[in-house]
């Protein structure tokens, strides 16, 4: 059976990605003996947050797990690996090596931090034969996660402290992430990225002349809005983006969502080439509060019940608070997906 | 094909660091584009596309919100497809590899990054910090010196003293020499490193040692103040040293000068703690480190073995201790293991040689007049030590610590020159080590009432006019000018460093800011204090020079004629050992006393 | 050996506190400094430097966290690898 690649993406730092990852790992340990590989597109493992100075959780791995990690992180890990090969990828923290955990312990997870290199590593992990590969995210970075088969999105008060606003944004995000696939039909044109007026003009010309325009790269928010402004001239066209991540990156999420709505209402079909499966959203009531009088950060929390309730209402996928509920819920979604995979 | 590099300040204002990198890259012949500050993420990405850059370097100072901004930039660049072809790096004051990793960059340039690193990144080459550019090379400070004596009469006298000493020591031996012979001929260092037994050595060796050492070899009893480390301890230590090497840069603190080489001492009693001290010293610019052993070592015939820690000041000399310390040193760090006093002098040189030391220390006069070893014994041992130093190619310094007892500089220097000349005759390479100190001599005679400059300068001038030899003032410089005040202590060290640099000496030993504190062991922060202050002295003075006072010339001449007069007396006596006993090289009034350790241990071969 | 919190495991050997204490004599300055350190929870303390001048004493007072020959906690900073519950 093909390896299932799950990405755990965050919407900001401290939204609970690592805690979510740890809770999934605990469930895997309890479960029916699934073989596991771990990597990351960022860096996780320090005892204290790089910027705020507050404590951060670290990942615990067990013997048998495969990992693809940067060398420098290994120096500071208590887990020991049997090295299998070098992945042929270089990161700021040294070469990425692939190994099997032989002594359990804490692992500093840092790995291939862009899409191309993540693909290289995932292919190598697949070749070694694992049931599940989990890719830990970094900050709010999402572009490389297009290589995953499915995503778990972690959000929380660290992204926004006002629950209604966070819920609304999470709903928009989930919608955008689940933008359906759209086929190219009729006369097809292609553009790379649309980042300025010149780029927009070139795109518009092509769009007028074609039935489908494939936008391979990214688009800036103002330019996406420009398409909406001139939607009358583009009724019936298909706009196909590479994947939903590119849409998420267009700009402020609620604005982008609004613009996409306008486009749909205006008769323009917007879709993606590669769809993303969003399995679950996890929520974290924690946020680092900046203390102006002391110039440092302290831990603070929003109402966790209200947070979970609001987000659940807003997004159309299952929502969990892994600290309050444990990881069974998220893990359950993973297993359900796997069965249908 | 030439690489094109785009540089973008993500700050609202221009980044000086980025401008300097830009300049450096252009000078190296690269085609660069430096964007103006305050552009949006999309504008920067479009610029990368338009300019067809191969590489992009961003710079930004950090704060909490900036991480997200940079992360979005990388994300957008990745989604736009430019990460397939363009390598992107982030630079700035607070940038570390972990941060660049988290943000998604290919490389990070933190504080202290060089243009060479940027170029290696642009070219896609792995920048190995281990290159000669940022790693030191161990230097031989004796290179280029001839040891020729420039002063005619002194030259003649030194020839005579050398002949006298060699004739006198001919056919004589001592337990110290015998043990050194065993260590040299029968103790196979490679077998020992490999853990193989060297029984042939030990059966004979133990018999030549004092009871307390013999008991160790025969019954396994350790010296009461020592304790052995376990294998687990060793494992942890090795891991710790490896971790501390990850980011270790060994800066050069001499700024625009090449000398003096800076030495720090170590010897807390525990080799582990010493290693922590040594790594700190290296990281703050020390070029070399000097091993301080306990004073009972000088009074005890024979060495223990094993990886041992010691309760009091001074780290015990054992092959294991030396080996572990040596392993922890950076390749370019000079390591001195001193043999200059005591009953183990020649064997120490052999061990130092076999275990990879760069330097040792030998002085017959100081050892016998100020450190308690019997003159005849130390003369025999001293000559043997010099022969071994020559054999193992270990330069050795000859220190005039007797100045601290009260012996006037000219007498102590006479003794030092005798040993240095003897050394040259035997094929050894000595280094003169006069003291820069507030000695009893100057306290009484007043040469330092006004300043600490002139008399120290006079010492150097005097020695230079006599012999072409390297000079390494100690020990440490500024001795007795320090009090326990951190700032005072560091300042006087810095100023003495400045003087040493202006005088063009080859090396100096500097103390910590704990030098005057005797209530406990020296701490790491105190060592860092003086390394920092010394560095500042180099930065401040650079290659400028100071004008010496009128007295400097006069005192220099007085020292030279004093040396000549002492040598005349030694030669007239016709017996070097007797000269030591008679106080010609330092007498009771001066505060020098012939030692008694090892009395009656010299025998015919 | 006392540890106020785990952070002290990172100190290689000692901690110096430098300050200026209002007092009437060197002796008083010294005693104040030692008491200050003991109040903060340190035991192996000593005054490295004290000079009374003017309105008070400039002091450098030290707490040895690790002495040569002790077991050093900074060699054990890598954790044991046990899972948090």
To 10 degrees, the CA torsion angle through B8, B10, B14, B18?
A: -50
For residues B455 and B555, is the Cβ–Cβ distance under 8 A? yes
pLDDT tens per residue, range C38-51: 999 999 999 999 99
What would the two tokens of residue B431 be? 């280094």
Interface test with A, best of B62, B76, B89, B102 (most A CBs within 10 A): B102
pLDDT of residue A36: 95
**Residue C85 belongs to a domain:** no
CB-based contact, C53 to chain B, within 8 Å: no
DSSP assignment letter at A14? T
CA-nearest of B141, B147, B142 to B463 is B147
CB-based contact, B81 to chain A, within 8 Å: yes
Interface test with A, best of B58, B104, B127 (most A CBs within 10 A): B104
CB-based contact, A76 to chain C, within 8 Å: yes
- Identify whether B317 is preceded by a cis peptide bond (ω within 30 of 0): no
Q: Let me know the angle formed at the C-alpha of B197 by B196 and B203, rounded to the nearest 5 degrees.
A: 160
Decide if C79 and A103 are in contact by the 8 Å CB cutoff: no
* Whether A93 and A126 share a structural domain: yes
Mean pLDDT per 10-residue run, chain B (605 residues)? 85 79 91 91 93 92 74 93 92 82 89 82 72 68 96 97 97 96 93 81 90 89 83 85 78 92 94 92 94 91 90 89 93 92 95 97 95 95 97 97 96 98 97 97 95 97 97 94 96 97 97 93 95 97 92 96 98 97 96 94 93
* Whether A16 and A108 share a structural domain: yes
Complex-level ipTM: 0.90
**Residue A148 belongs to a domain:** yes
pLDDT tens per residue, range C17-41: 999 999 999 999 999 999 999 999 9
* Whether A120 and A195 share a structural domain: no
Decide if A103 and C81 are in contact by the 8 Å CB cutoff: yes
Domain-ending residue, one of A247, A272, A297: A272
CATH number, domain of C18, equals: 3.30.30.60
Interface test with B, best of C69, C72, C79 (most B CBs within 10 A): C69
**Residue C39 belongs to a domain:** yes
Decide if A192 and B80 are in contact by the 8 Å CB cutoff: yes
pLDDT of residue C4: 46
**Residue C5 belongs to a domain:** no
CATH number, domain of A38, equals: 3.40.50.300
**Segment A46-60 mean pLDDT:** 64
CB-based contact, A178 to chain C, within 8 Å: no
pLDDT of residue A285: 94
Question: Which string of DSSP letters, residue by residue, matches A270-284?
Answer: EEESS--EEEEEEEE
Contacts of B145 (CB under 8 A, 6+ apart): B429, B468, B469, B470
pLDDT of residue B132: 39
For residues A36 and A42, is the Cβ–Cβ distance under 8 A? no
pLDDT of residue C9: 87
Range of the domain at A63: 4-177+276-340
**Residue A88 belongs to a domain:** yes
Question: Which string of DSSP letters, residue by residue, matches B261-290?
Answer: EEEEEE--S-HHHHHHHHHHHHHTT--EEE
Per-residue buried b or exposed e for B230-265, using 16+ beta carbons within 10 Å of the residue's own CB: eeebeebbeebbeebeeeeebebbbeeeebbbbbbb
Selecting from C16, C68, C74 the residue whose C-beta is nearest the C-beta of B521 gives C68
Inter-chain CB pairs, A–B, below 8 Å: 122
For residues B436 and B480, is the Cβ–Cβ distance under 8 A? no
User: Residue C3 pLDDT more than 60?
Assistant: no
Contacts of B80 (CB under 8 A, 6+ apart): A192, A193, A195, A217, A218, B45, B49
For the B4-128 domain, the top CATH level (class) is alpha beta
Q: Is A247 helix (H, G, I), strand (E, B) or coil?
A: helix
* Whether A234 and A159 share a structural domain: no
Enumerate the CATH 3.40.50.280 domain ranges in chain B, comma separated: 4-128
**Residue C74 belongs to a domain:** no
Task: Work out the minimum CA distance from C53 to partner chain A, whole angstroms.
Answer: 34
Does the pTM surpass 0.95? The reply is no
**Residue A183 belongs to a domain:** no
CB-based contact, B123 to chain A, within 8 Å: no
C contacts of B520 (beta carbons < 8 Å): 14, 46, 62, 64, 67
* Whether A146 and A265 share a structural domain: no
Decide if C78 and A78 are in contact by the 8 Å CB cutoff: yes
The CATH architecture of the domain made up of B173-562 is Alpha-Beta Barrel (3.20)
CA distances from B59 to A141, B35, B52, B85 (A): 19, 11, 19, 20
pLDDT of residue B420: 98
Angle between helices A253-265 and A163-177 (to 10 degrees): 50
* Whether A206 and A77 share a structural domain: no
* Whether A195 and A294 share a structural domain: no
Task: Work out the minimum CA distance from B44 to partner chain A, whole angstroms.
Answer: 10
CA distance A46 to B276: 23
**Residue C82 belongs to a domain:** no
* Whether A55 and A154 share a structural domain: yes
**Residue C6 belongs to a domain:** no
CA-nearest of B328, B341, B452, B353 to B400 is B341
What are the helix (H) ranges across chain A?
17-30, 71-75, 115-127, 163-177, 197-209, 221-229, 244-248, 253-265, 304-314, 322-325, 328-340
- Identify whether B323 is preceded by a cis peptide bond (ω within 30 of 0): no
Domain-ending residue, one of A243, A272, A301: A272
User: Residue A56 pLDDT more than 80?
Assistant: no
For residues A308 and A167, is the Cβ–Cβ distance under 8 A? no
**Residue A328 belongs to a domain:** yes
Task: Work out the minimum CA distance from C81 to partner chain B, whole angstroms.
Answer: 15
Provide the number of structural domains found in chain C: 1
Band of pLDDT at residue C85, cut at 50, 70 and 90: very low
* Whether A169 and A216 share a structural domain: no
Q: Is A105 helix (H, G, I), strand (E, B) or coil?
A: strand
Range of the domain at C22: 11-69
Enumerate the CATH 3.20.20.440 domain ranges in chain B, comma separated: 173-562
Instruction: Give all strands of the β-sheet with A150-156 in edge-to-edge order.
Output: A80-91, A94-103, A66-70, A36-40, A132-136, A4-10, A150-156, A277-284, A319-320
Domain-ending residue, one of A239, A254, A272: A272
User: Residue C2 pLDDT more than 60?
Assistant: no
Decide if A114 and B42 are in contact by the 8 Å CB cutoff: no
Provide the number of structural domains found in chain A: 2
pLDDT of residue A188: 95
A contacts of B101 (beta carbons < 8 Å): 42-43, 70, 91-93, 110, 113
State the DSSP H helix or E strand holding residue B535, giving kind and residue range, or none if neither. helix B524-541
**Segment A325-330 mean pLDDT:** 94
What would the two tokens of residue C8 be? 């002290």
* Whether A287 and A199 share a structural domain: no
**Residue C64 belongs to a domain:** yes
Q: How many helices (DSSP H) and strands (DSSP E) are in chain C?
A: 1, 3
CB-based contact, A54 to chain B, within 8 Å: no
* Whether A209 and A292 share a structural domain: no
Interface test with C, best of B272, B311, B489 (most C CBs within 10 A): B272
CA distances from B325 to A73, A294, B331 (A): 27, 44, 12
* Whether A200 and A88 share a structural domain: no
């Amino acid at each position: 059976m093909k390896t299932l690649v799950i990405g755990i993406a965050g919407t900001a730092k401290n939204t609970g990605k690592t805690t979510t990852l740890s809770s999934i790992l605990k469930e895997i340990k309890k479960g029916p003996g699934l073989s596991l590989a771990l990597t990351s597109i960022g860096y996780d493992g320090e005892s204290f947050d790089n910027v705020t100075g507050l404590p951060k959780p670290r990942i615990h791995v067990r013997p048998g797990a495969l990992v693809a990690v940067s060398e420098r992180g290994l120096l500071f890990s208590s887990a020991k690996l049997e090295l299998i090969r070098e992945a042929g990828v270089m990161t700021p923290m040294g070469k990425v090596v692939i190994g099997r955990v032989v002594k359990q312990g804490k692992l500093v997870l840092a790995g291939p931090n862009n899409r191309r290199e993540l693909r290289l590593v995932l292919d190598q992990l697949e070749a070694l034969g694992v049931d599940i590969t989990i890719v830990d995210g970094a900050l709010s970075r999402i572009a490389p996660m297009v290589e995953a088969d499915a995503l778990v999105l972690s959000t929380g008060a660290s992204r926004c402290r006002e629950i209604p606003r966070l819920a609304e944004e999470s709903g928009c995000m989930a919608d955008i992430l689940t933008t359906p696939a759209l086929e190219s039909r009729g006369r097809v044109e292609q553009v790379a990225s649309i980042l300025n007026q010149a780029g927009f003009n070139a795109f518009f010309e092509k769009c007028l002349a074609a039935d489908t325009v494939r936008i391979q790269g990214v688009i800036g928010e103002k330019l996406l809005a420009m398409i909406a402004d001139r939607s009358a001239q583009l009724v019936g066209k298909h706009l196909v983006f590479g994947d939903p991540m590119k849409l998420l990156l267009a700009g402020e999420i609620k604005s982008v969502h609004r613009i996409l709505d306008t486009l749909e209402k205006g008769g323009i079909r917007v879709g993606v080439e590669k769809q993303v499966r969003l399995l679950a959203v996890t929520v974290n009531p924690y946020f680092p509060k900046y203390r102006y009088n002391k110039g440092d950060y302290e831990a603070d929390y929003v109402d966790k019940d209200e947070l979970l309730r609001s987000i659940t209402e807003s997004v159309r996928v299952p929502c969990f608070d892994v600290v309050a509920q444990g990881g069974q819920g998220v893990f359950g979604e993973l297993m359900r997906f796997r069965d249908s995979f | 094909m030439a690489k094109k590099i785009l540089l973008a300040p993500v700050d609202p204002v221009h980044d000086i660091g980025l401008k300097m990198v830009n300049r450096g890259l252009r000078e190296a012949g690269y085609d660069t584009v430096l964007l103006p500050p305050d552009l949006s993420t999309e504008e920067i990405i479009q610029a990368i596309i338009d300019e067809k850059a191969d590489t992009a370097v961003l710079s930004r100072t950090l704060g909490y919100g900036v991480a997200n901004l940079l992360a979005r930039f990388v994300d957008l660049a990745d989604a736009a497809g430019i990460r397939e072809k363009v390598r992107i790096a982030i630079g700035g004051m607070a940038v570390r590899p972990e941060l660049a990793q988290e943000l998604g960059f290919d490389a990070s340039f933190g504080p202290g990054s060089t243009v060479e690193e940027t170029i290696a990144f642009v070219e896609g080459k792995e920048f190995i910090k281990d290159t000669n550019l940022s790693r030191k090379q161990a230097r031989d400070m004796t290179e280029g010196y001839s040891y020729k004596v420039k002063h005619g009469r002194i030259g003649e006298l030194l020839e005579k003293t050398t002949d006298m000493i060699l004739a006198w020591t001919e056919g004589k031996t001592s337990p110290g020499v015998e043990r050194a012979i065993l260590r040299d001929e029968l103790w196979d260092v490679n077998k020992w490193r490999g853990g193989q037994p060297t029984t042939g050595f030990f059966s004979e060796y133990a018999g030549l040692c004092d009871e307390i050492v013999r008991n160790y070899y025969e019954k396994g009893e350790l010296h009461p103040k020592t304790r052995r480390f376990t294998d687990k301890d060793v494992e942890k230590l090795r891991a710790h040293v490896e971790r501390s090497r990850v980011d270790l840069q060994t800066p050069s603190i001499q700024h625009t000068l090449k000398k003096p080489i800076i030495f720090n001492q170590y010897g807390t009693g525990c080799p582990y703690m010493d290693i922590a001290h040594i790594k700190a010293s290296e990281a703050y610019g020390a070029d070399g480190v000097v091993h301080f052993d306990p004073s009972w070592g000088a009074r005890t015939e024979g060495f223990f073995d094993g990886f041992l820690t010691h309760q009091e000041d001074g780290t015990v000399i054992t092959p294991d201790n030396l080996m572990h310390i040596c392993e922890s040193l950076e390749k370019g760090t000079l390591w001195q293991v001193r043999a200059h006093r005591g009953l183990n002098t020649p064997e120490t040189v052999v061990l130092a040689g076999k275990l990879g030391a760069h330097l040792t220390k030998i002085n017959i006069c100081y050892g016998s007049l100020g450190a308690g070893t019997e003159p005849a014994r130390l003369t025999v041992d001293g000559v043997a030590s010099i022969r071994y130093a020559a054999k193992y190619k270990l330069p050795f310094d000859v220190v005039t610590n007797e100045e601290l007892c009260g012996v006037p500089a000219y007498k102590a220097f006479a003794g030092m020159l005798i040993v240095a000349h003897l050394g040259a005759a035997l094929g050894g390479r000595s280094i003169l080590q006069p003291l820069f100190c507030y000695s009893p001599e100057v306290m009484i005679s007043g040469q330092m009432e006004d300043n600490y400059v002139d008399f120290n300068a006079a010492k150097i001038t005097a020695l230079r006019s006599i012999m072409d030899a390297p000079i390494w003032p100690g020990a440490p410089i500024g001795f007795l000018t320090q009090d326990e005040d951190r700032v005072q202590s560091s300042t006087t060290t810095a100023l003495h460093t400045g003087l040493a640099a202006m005088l063009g000496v080859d090396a100096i030993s500097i103390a910590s800011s704990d030098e005057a504190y005797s209530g406990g062991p020296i701490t790491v922060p105190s060592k860092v204090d003086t390394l920092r202050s010394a560095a500042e002295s180099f930065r401040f003075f650079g290659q400028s020079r100071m004008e010496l006072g009128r007295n400097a010339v006069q005192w220099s001449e007085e020292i030279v004629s004093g040396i000549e007069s002492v040598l005349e007396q030694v030669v007239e006596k016709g017996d070097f050992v007797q000269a030591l006993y008679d106080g010609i090289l330092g007498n009771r009034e001066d505060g020098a006393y012939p030692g008694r350790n090892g009395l009656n241990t010299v025998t015919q071969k | 050996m006392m540890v106020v919190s785990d952070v002290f495991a990172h100190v290689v050997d000692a901690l110096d506190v430098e300050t200026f204490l209002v007092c009437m004599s060197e002796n008083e300055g010294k005693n104040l400094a030692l008491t200050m350190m003991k109040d903060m929870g340190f035991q192996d303390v000593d005054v490295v430097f004290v000079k009374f001048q003017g309105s008070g004493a400039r002091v450098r007072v030290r707490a040895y966290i690790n002495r040569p020959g002790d077991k050093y906690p900074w060699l054990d900073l890598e954790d044991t690898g046990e899972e948090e519950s």
